Amino acid sequence: MTLPITPHPPLPDTLIEALQTRFGSRFSRGESIRVQHGRDESIHTPILPDAVVFAESTEEVVALVQLARVHGVQLIPFGAGSSVEGHILPIHGGISVDLSGMNRILAVHNDDLDVVVEAGVTRIQLNTALRDTGLFFPIDPGADASLGGMAATRASGTNAVRYGTMRENVLGLTVVLADGSVVRTGTRARKSSAGYDLTRLFIGSEGTLGIITELSIRLHPVPEAMSAAVCAFPDVDAAVRTVIQTIQLGVPVARIELLDTLSIAAVNRHSQTTLNETPTLFFEFHGSEAAVAEQAALVQDIATELGGRDFAWATRTEDRNRLWRARHDAYFACLQLKPGARAFPTDVCVPISRLAEAIAETNEDIAQVSIPVALFGHVGDGNFHLVVLVDPDNPRDLAEAEWLNERVVGRALVMDGTCTGEHGIGIGKAKFLVREHGAEAVAVMRTLKAALDPDNLLNPGKILPPLNAGD
Amino acid sequence: MTLPITPHPPLPDTLIEALQTRFGSRFSRGESIRVQHGRDESIHTPILPDAVVFAESTEEVVALVQLARVHGVQLIPFGAGSSVEGHILPIHGGISVDLSGMNRILAVHNDDLDVVVEAGVTRIQLNTALRDTGLFFPIDPGADASLGGMAATRASGTNAVRYGTMRENVLGLTVVLADGSVVRTGTRARKSSAGYDLTRLFIGSEGTLGIITELSIRLHPVPEAMSAAVCAFPDVDAAVRTVIQTIQLGVPVARIELLDTLSIAAVNRHSQTTLNETPTLFFEFHGSEAAVAEQAALVQDIATELGGRDFAWATRTEDRNRLWRARHDAYFACLQLKPGARAFPTDVCVPISRLAEAIAETNEDIAQVSIPVALFGHVGDGNFHLVVLVDPDNPRDLAEAEWLNERVVGRALVMDGTCTGEHGIGIGKAKFLVREHGAEAVAVMRTLKAALDPDNLLNPGKILPPLNAGD
């Protein structure tokens, strides 16, 4: 979708000179670099930043903020560029702050099960580095996102049902504020009652309140045993009811994922798997050998009673990895269902008791559009995604996608759910913010933004809807 | 300790008349009522509020805020009065807002494992009401605190090592702000990436940013099996090393509590138990029958190897309850060690790898004072408490207690821990806030307070140290 881009003056020459002096070749106005930083994984039309700075330390981010604020130039933090709601688009112009060079793992505290990293470290990089420690970092959005970006969007993924989201797994942050000050939040203690929770204030703030440059993160012991399974169901409802019963019984399942028929077909084609093309749950169990066996047997009983069949187990590491790689590639697999298509992704999250109803009604909506729509997600949390495949040049496709998005979000909000479980607001979902939180809560969010970034320098136009835009 | 109380004018007559009209007998200036609202469980000298209002609905709190702000009169939220850092003392005068009458359980969502309550509902009241649902609320500070107060102080307790603190277990809040607006935060979805985390902003804000009137709270399924044990150790170090190994192995222990020799002696005397008077761990395991047996065996192996002996198991509900009642009464048991004494309570939390060192050095400090000091706590989180028994009229006792507090907190901060794991800042720990978080982070906290409560009407003087008071 094409966005209104606010006309803005070019970067002042004095700023350009200062940035060239300070950052050398790590300050770029070249078109190819700007193109790389002018789009994310969303449907939104790319918007090129005026320049890109590749920052390599907190001190460099401070220097950049201080230069930019003198000139009133806006800054857009950029990690891996894998956001899906237009988070990194410079809709009012400005400089993209690329943090991917801040990719050092600063300290691994094996005994405390935590790690200190720079914001550009990605989740796969971190887990690779942890390979010999007996510890791992569980949060896995589809993309190999940066940890700074994952904190900024309050990301989660397939393991969140057991291990929580970035909200629960970040112990502390280093953040550069709009005034150039550096704030360190949290400690390495597991819990604290010492003052306002600044860590959680910045998590999910999408770069609008400060630029995250370092993170202390909780790790988890690699379980003694892990076992994964795939189970096919006659219909989505039977699969979802299996999920609901599993959660309500308190089974500490590590992953419980739903893929609908179209998603499975896409996965089979993309990943050369031979899964039954019918609604399917992917499970994983973590624990001791005995606990895993017990959990697995219990869930298999529930599934079988509800019509699940062809339970296929994967206990060898390589088989499990192949299974979860296929699951993680589902988004890209779906993209290939319609050649030349772009994905219009959306996600919502509802209370678990409403999940079956939410998905059933969504499927009725999907039946009314002409474009392919895949449905999958982290159903143990009540979170599911639509991947709506559109020709971005076809207004009817876009209108259908918008209609579906409106339907699925509106339904989630009526069910006391949220307009996004893990993607974030960006620009794509700002229009739902008041409907979800109410005018009073959004007014508080505006107050916080104005207090911490009075000149609106940091990622402007994200999260908060334009004033007077109604709902 | 006697606090400086700021001179302030009496309540204006017009306000008194308006409050009498609005609240009738639920507005009180009677001395006995004011005395009840002028002290908490802390060592601080009582300070009487100018009046007390017993609010019974969010609308009444709004009405009170609107009247008070017109007259510039300050408001101090009051739940059960069980805070331990002077949170509820009206140090600048003002009206105590007693929310204990807001004690309705508004909705129990069995299928979603959550509940909606008014702020005055206490944790025991909630669990009593849940008795037949198969669900429970795990967070258990020693006192039967109100849930609003527990959210305001980010409380935790013995189960936090497994189930988290109020931070992880509150889904959403209703909060009355200083301008009289009512904000509803969060949804009933398990996770969300929709905008700033206002829920976590108010949790731990100790009534300084808004008055919490309702909460949506996560519940947990009552485990199929529960088993508790007590194990005596030759010294504190052996006990603490058992804790560290248990946590580092990732055993999902539900509770793991340390009581030192003096605490055990106090418990024996108070609760008529016959525990060995030596450093002792209390454990509890939750899960399936098999999982509980496996966890218990593993931890017993660790403990035995480190010198633990006399493992005594309690699997029957009444035996477990007796054990945990004794543990919960430890604070009051310790109070009785020195007739006429008051407790100067403090708590800190450190990374688990530093716990043995922190406790050993603290015990060296304790050996240097003349007053009795009991040490116990939620060691699975790295959190421990001192109960320092003082004669509040004896300056030497108070000086020794202050010295100990300074030593234990200073040590926790050097170890990258926190000055309070669960008690909160109140007035007692405000002096440590800058040392823990740094001047920049505390400046952000001041900015947030000024943005949301520009006239400093809500619980003034709490959390944030007086300006220019140095560290």
Contact call for A109 and B351, based on CB within 8 A = yes
Contact call for A247 and B113, based on CB within 8 A = yes
Ranking A274-288, A422-436, B3-17, B284-298 by mean pLDDT, the lowest is: B3-17
Shortest Cα distance from A250 to chain B (angstroms)? 6
Place of tokens 């421990």: B384
Tally C-beta pairs within 8 A across A and B. 284
Say what the pLDDT of residue B215 is: 98
Judging contacts by C-beta atoms under 8 Å, the chain B residues touching residue A464 are 195
Shortest Cα distance from A320 to chain B (angstroms)? 22
Helix, strand, coil share of chain B (percent; to 5): 40, 20, 40
- What the block records as the tokens of B172 is 């959403």
β-pairing, A280-287 vs B75-78, is: unpaired
pLDDT of A164-191, one tens digit each? Answer: 999 999 999 999 999 999 999 999 999 9
Place of tokens 């807001």: B102
- What the block records as the tokens of B162 is 């497994």
Say what the pLDDT of residue B165 is: 98
Query: Could you tell me the fold of the domain covering B105-221?
Result: 3.30.465
Interface test with A, best of B190, B246, B445 (most A CBs within 10 A): B190
Mean pLDDT, chain B, as a whole number? 95
Span A268-287, average pLDDT: 95
Contact call for B183 and A441, based on CB within 8 A = yes
Judging contacts by C-beta atoms under 8 Å, the chain B residues touching residue A419 are 194
Contact call for B191 and A156, based on CB within 8 A = yes
A292 touching B, CB under 8 A? Answer: no
Interface test with B, best of A192, A286, A425 (most B CBs within 10 A): A192
Judging contacts by C-beta atoms under 8 Å, the chain B residues touching residue A288 are 291, 294
Shortest Cα distance from B252 to chain A (angstroms)? 9
A351 touching B, CB under 8 A? Answer: yes
B418 touching A, CB under 8 A? Answer: yes
Say what the pLDDT of residue A7 is: 76
- Annotated domain spans of chain A: 13-98, 105-221, 225-331
Same fold, B225-265+280-319 and B332-426: yes
B110 closest CA partner among B86, B83, B131, B79: B131
- Residue A469, pLDDT > 60, answer no
Q: How many C-beta atoms lie closer than 10 Å to residue A269's C-beta?
A: 13
Q: If pLDDT is split at 50, 70 and 90, which confidence band does A310 have?
A: confident
pLDDT of B178-206, one tens digit each? Answer: 999 999 999 999 999 999 999 999 999 99
A-proximal residues of B, 223-282, CB under 8 Å: 223, 244, 247-250, 252
**Which residues does B187 contact at the CB level (< 8 Å), separation at least 6?**
A413, A416, A417, A418, A436, B171, B172
Residue B320, CB-side half-sphere exposure with 13 Å CA sphere: 12
Say what the pLDDT of residue B4 is: 57
Say what the pLDDT of residue A142 is: 87
Shortest Cα distance from A32 to chain B (angstroms)? 31
Q: If pLDDT is split at 50, 70 and 90, which confidence band does A4 have?
A: low
Judging contacts by C-beta atoms under 8 Å, the chain B residues touching residue A349 are 189-192
Torsion of CA B225, B230, B231, B236, to 10 degrees: 120
Say what the pLDDT of residue A234 is: 96
A88 touching B, CB under 8 A? Answer: no
Question: What number does CATH give the domain A225-331?
Answer: 3.30.70.2190
Say what the pLDDT of residue A8 is: 83
Judging contacts by C-beta atoms under 8 Å, the chain A residues touching residue B160 are 191
Query: Could you tell me the fold of the domain covering B13-98?
Result: 3.30.43
Judging contacts by C-beta atoms under 8 Å, the chain A residues touching residue B444 are 177, 183, 196, 198, 452
Say what the pLDDT of residue A315 is: 84
Contact call for A196 and B423, based on CB within 8 A = no
Please report, rounded to a whole number, the percentage of residues in chain A having pLDDT higher than 90.
Answer: 91
Judging contacts by C-beta atoms under 8 Å, the chain A residues touching residue B192 are 154, 349, 418, 420-421
A-proximal residues of B, 353-412, CB under 8 Å: 353, 381-383, 412
Contact call for B192 and A418, based on CB within 8 A = yes
pLDDT of A360-419, one tens digit each? Answer: 999 999 999 999 999 999 999 999 999 999 998 999 999 999 999 999 999 999 999 999
Shortest Cα distance from A272 to chain B (angstroms)? 33
**Which residues does A313 contact at the CB level (< 8 Å), separation at least 6?**
A227, A228, A229, A296
Q: Per-residue b/e over A121-159, b at no fewer than 16 CB within 10 Å?
A: bbbebbeeebeeeebbbbbbbbbebbbbbbbbbbbbbbb
Q: How far apart are CA A21 and CA B388, in angstroms?
A: 59
- What the block records as the tokens of B358 is 């922190």
Q: Write out the DSSP string of B144-207.
A: --BHHHHHHTT---TTHHHH--HHHHEEEEEEE-TTS-EEEE--SSS---SS--HHHHHTTSTT
Contact call for B381 and A445, based on CB within 8 A = no
Q: How far apart are CA A406 and CA A400, in angstroms?
A: 10
- Residue B467, pLDDT > 90, answer no
Q: How far apart are CA A239 and CA A140, in angstroms?
A: 23
Q: If pLDDT is split at 50, 70 and 90, which confidence band does A334 have?
A: very high
Shortest Cα distance from B382 to chain A (angstroms)? 7
Facing A194 at nearest CB: one of B112, B433, B443? B433
Say what the pLDDT of residue B470 is: 45
Shortest CA distance from B150: residue in chain A: A193
Say which residue, B219 or B315, is predicted with more confidence.
B219
Run of H or E including B126:
helix B123-129
Facing B188 at nearest CB: one of A291, A416, A432? A416
Say what the pLDDT of residue B64 is: 98
Shortest CA distance from B380: residue in chain A: A190
Judging contacts by C-beta atoms under 8 Å, the chain A residues touching residue B294 are 288, 290-291
Shortest Cα distance from A87 to chain B (angstroms)? 12
Shortest Cα distance from A428 to chain B (angstroms)? 11
Classify domain B332-426 by CATH architecture: 2-Layer Sandwich (3.30)
Taking phi first (over 0 means left), then psi (-120 to 50 degrees means alpha), and beta for anything else, what does residue A89 get? beta
Q: How far apart are CA A147 and CA A125, in angstroms?
A: 10
Say what the pLDDT of residue B7 is: 76
Q: Write out the DSSP string of A112-128.
A: GTEEEEETT-BHHHHHH
Q: How far apart are CA A211 and CA A65, in angstroms?
A: 9
Contact call for A111 and B412, based on CB within 8 A = no
Shortest Cα distance from A40 to chain B (angstroms)? 17
For A130-260, where are the alpha helices, taking DSSP H only? Answer: 147-152, 160-163, 166-169, 198-202, 236-248
**Which residues does B72 contact at the CB level (< 8 Å), separation at least 6?**
B455, B457
Say what the pLDDT of residue A198 is: 98
pLDDT of A190-247, one tens digit each? Answer: 999 999 999 999 999 999 999 999 999 999 999 999 999 999 999 999 999 999 999 9
CB B387 within 8 A of CB B343: yes
Q: If pLDDT is split at 50, 70 and 90, which confidence band does A471 have?
A: very low
Judging contacts by C-beta atoms under 8 Å, the chain A residues touching residue B190 are 349, 351-352, 381-383
Contact call for B109 and A351, based on CB within 8 A = yes
**Which residues does A322 contact at the CB level (< 8 Å), separation at least 6?**
A314
Q: How far apart are CA B332 and CA A400, in angstroms?
A: 65
Facing A351 at nearest CB: one of B188, B352, B383? B188
Say what the pLDDT of residue A311 is: 87
B-proximal residues of A, 16-75, CB under 8 Å: none
Q: Is B373 helix (H, G, I), strand (E, B) or coil?
A: strand
CB A462 within 8 A of CB A87: yes
pLDDT of A22-76, one tens digit each? Answer: 999 999 999 999 999 999 999 899 999 999 999 999 999 999 999 999 999 999 9
- Residue B142, pLDDT > 50, answer yes
Q: How far apart are CA B462 and CA A15, in angstroms?
A: 43
Contact call for A463 and B432, based on CB within 8 A = no
Please report, rounded to a whole number, the percentage of residues in chain B having pLDDT higher than 70.
Answer: 98
Please report, rounded to a whole number, the percentage of residues in chain A having pLDDT higher than 70.
Answer: 98
Shortest CA distance from A295: residue in chain B: B288
Say what the pLDDT of residue A470 is: 46
Facing A441 at nearest CB: one of B160, B198, B204? B198
Say what the pLDDT of residue A1 is: 57
Judging contacts by C-beta atoms under 8 Å, the chain A residues touching residue B408 are none
Q: How many C-beta atoms lie closer than 10 Å to residue A285's C-beta?
A: 27
Judging contacts by C-beta atoms under 8 Å, the chain A residues touching residue B350 are 189
- Residue A6, pLDDT > 90, answer no
Q: How far apart are CA A428 and CA A43, in angstroms?
A: 9
A189 touching B, CB under 8 A? Answer: yes
ipTM value, please give it.
0.96
B453 touching A, CB under 8 A? Answer: no
Torsion of CA B272, B276, B278, B280, to 10 degrees: -80
**Which residues does B142 contact at the CB level (< 8 Å), separation at least 6?**
B157, B328, B330, B331
Query: Could you tell me the fold of the domain covering B225-265+280-319?
Result: Alpha-Beta Plaits (3.30.70)
Contact call for A191 and B165, based on CB within 8 A = yes
Span B409-438, average pLDDT: 98
CB B112 within 8 A of CB B96: no
Shortest Cα distance from B10 to chain A (angstroms)? 30
Ranking A229-243, A329-343, B396-410 by mean pLDDT, the lowest is: A329-343
Please report, rounded to a whole number, the percentage of residues in chain B having pLDDT higher than 90.
Answer: 91
- Residue B397, pLDDT > 60, answer yes
CB A385 within 8 A of CB A347: yes
